[in-house]
A = this chain, B = another copy of it.
C-alpha cells in the first residue's frame, strides 16, 4: 500500500503523529505538500475530490480510502502497519488513549490561542498567560499522571503492553511539551519515570532515530501546536 499524507509544510503540527507511525513502520508514503505545495490540499478541503471530505489537515489517502482526523488515521493504518495489537479490545483501547492525547493536544493549542484560532498569539497574550498557568498547574499533571499510571499498570514498557502507535504519539507529546515548557516539564518529569523512559526508547528505535536525524523531521517551532514562548513557562 502506498500512502499519501497531506499536511501543512513548515511545521510538525498534528501531522507529525501520523508521520511518526509511517516512519516507524517503514511505510511507503509521500508527504504530498512537500512536493506539490500546500495549495494541493484545497480541492480536498473544498469537497472537490473523491472520498470522505476532510474538515482540516492532516488527511491520508490509502488506495481509494481517504481518512482525516489523527486518531482515525492511526486507527486505520495501525492495523495495516501492525502498529497496534490485533485484539479488538486493545485496538479500541488504543483509540481511547489516542483520543485522550488528542484532547491534551487541543488544550495545548488553545493555550497559545485561548480566544480565537484565527488571531495571532500576540493578540491574545494576556489570556494565554492565564490559560498557560492553568495548563501547567492543573491540566498537565492530570493528563500526564494518567498516562504514567496506565503505562505502569501495563508493565511500564509499552502503554498497551506491546509496541503501538500510541507509544509513538506519547513520544511526540512528551517531546513537544518539553520544547514548549522546558521549566515545567523538568519539574513534572520526576513523577513520570515510565513516560521518560518510553520517550527515550522510542527515540532509539532504528527507523525513528534515522527519521529524527533526517531533514524530513522539521524542528519544533512557533508555527506548530507546541510553541515555546518563554513567558508561558514556569517551574
Interface residues of A, Cβ cutoff 8 Å to B: 47, 52-55, 64-65, 67-69, 71-72, 75-76, 89, 92-93, 95-97, 99-100, 102-103, 106, 110, 114-119, 127, 130-131, 134, 138-139, 143, 146, 149-150, 153
Contacts and interface: CB of A to CB of B under 8 A. Distances in A.
Nearest to A127: B127
A100 B118 CA distance: 18
B96 A67 contact: yes
Copies of the chain in the assembly: 2
B47 A153 contact: yes
A127 B99 contact: no
Given A95-B75, A106-B106, A115-B114, A153 B53 contact: yes
A116 B130 CA distance: 8
Given A68-B96, A96-B52, A106-B103, A138 B118 contact: yes
Contact of A131 (B76, B96, B115): B115
Contacts of A134: 115-119
A54 B92 CA distance: 12
Contacts of A146: 53, 55
Contact of A95 (B72, B93, B97, B114): B72
A72 B52 contact: no
11 contacts: A52-B89, A52-B92, A64-B89, A65-B92, A69-B99, A69-B100, A72-B99, A114-B127, A115-B127, A116-B138, A127-B127
